[in-house]
Amino acid sequence: MPRPRRSESTREALITAGINQLSIYGYHGTGIKQILDEVKVPKGSFYNFFASKEAFVAELIKHYSDDLLARLADYFQHQAKALTPLDKLKAINHLSLQKFADSEFQTSCLIATISADIDADNRLCQQALNQAVDDCLAVITSLFAQGQQSLEIRRDIPASQLAQLYWSAWQGALLRTKVIKDKQEAQLCMDVLLDTLCGNALKTKPDLQV
């Protein structure tokens, strides 16, 4: 296989460094210079690939989201193939929190970190964030819908609403974990939430649209 051209390698290095830096320091805490210093390329190289910091971060969000969804799909198809939908949701939480802890609570979810400090008038990043969240919610909604079909998860609330509740709680739990630097609270919170959402699973309720 031919090696990627230097320009492609530089772009990939900028994206990787950008995701790492912004996951730790957020949008306002990360400057282009610190990313360039990490990759060891001149400032001009950056603007050969990205028109602005906003365009760069929007690209990072898309890249991060696409990679996350691909890794989830692979996980569901292989390691978690035998798990129920509810256990898949719990496993995602546990694995993500353990990865966060392994980084000494530095590298969190890029979507959560950027969402916490992005400006309302930054349209490029807002659009990228909204798309990334929609894509993640589609996966989570599908898991809740599968759990409802197997009577593992309550059916009196639409799967899409359950997914929204789950997502909001998860994003808040990640931010809280970054502050207290302890995964146990977030893990317990999400497990209790998911167990609570199964409380009515076996009761006879009319099905609602998902």
What pLDDT, on a 0 to 100 scale, did the predictor assign at position 96? 94
Query: Is residue 179 situated within a structural domain?
Result: yes
Provide the 8-state DSSP code for 156.
Answer: S
What pLDDT, on a 0 to 100 scale, did the predictor assign at position 141? 97
How many other C-beta atoms are found inside a 10 Å radius of the C-beta of residue 83?
Answer: 14
- Output the six-digit token pair for 177: 């974990």
Amino acid at 36: L
Query: Is residue 208 situated within a structural domain?
Result: no
Inform me whether the pLDDT recorded for 7 exceeds 50: yes
Query: Is residue 207 situated within a structural domain?
Result: no
Q: Please state, in angstroms and as integers, the Cα–Cα distance from residue 89 to each residue in 46, 130, 190, following that order.
A: 38, 21, 9
Inform me whether the pLDDT recorded for 129 exceeds 90: yes
Among the ranges given (42-51, 56-65, 75-84, 152-161), the one the predictor scored with the smallest mean pLDDT: 42-51
How many other C-beta atoms are found inside a 10 Å radius of the C-beta of residue 35?
Answer: 23
Total tally of structural domains belonging to the chain? 1
Q: In terms of Cα–Cα distance, which of 135, 105, 6, 114 is closest to 56? A: 114
- Output the six-digit token pair for 205: 């309720």
Query: Is residue 19 situated within a structural domain?
Result: no
What pLDDT, on a 0 to 100 scale, did the predictor assign at position 201? 54
Q: Which residue has the tokens 């990334």?
A: 132
Query: Is residue 156 situated within a structural domain?
Result: yes
Instruction: Give the residue numbers spanning the domain of 70.
Output: 62-197
Query: Is residue 29 situated within a structural domain?
Result: no
CATH of the domain at 103: 1.10.357.10
The upper half-sphere exposure of residue 145, i.e. CA atoms within 13 Å in the direction of its Cβ, equals 10
| Gap between the Cα atoms of 75 and 171, Å rounded | 21
> Tens of pLDDT along 81-118?
999 999 999 999 999 999 999 999 988 899 999 998 88
Provide the 8-state DSSP code for 6.
Answer: H
Q: What is the pTM of this model?
A: 0.86
Query: Is residue 143 situated within a structural domain?
Result: yes
What pLDDT, on a 0 to 100 scale, did the predictor assign at position 45? 83
Amino acid at 92: I
Largest CA distance in the chain: 64
Query: Is residue 36 situated within a structural domain?
Result: no
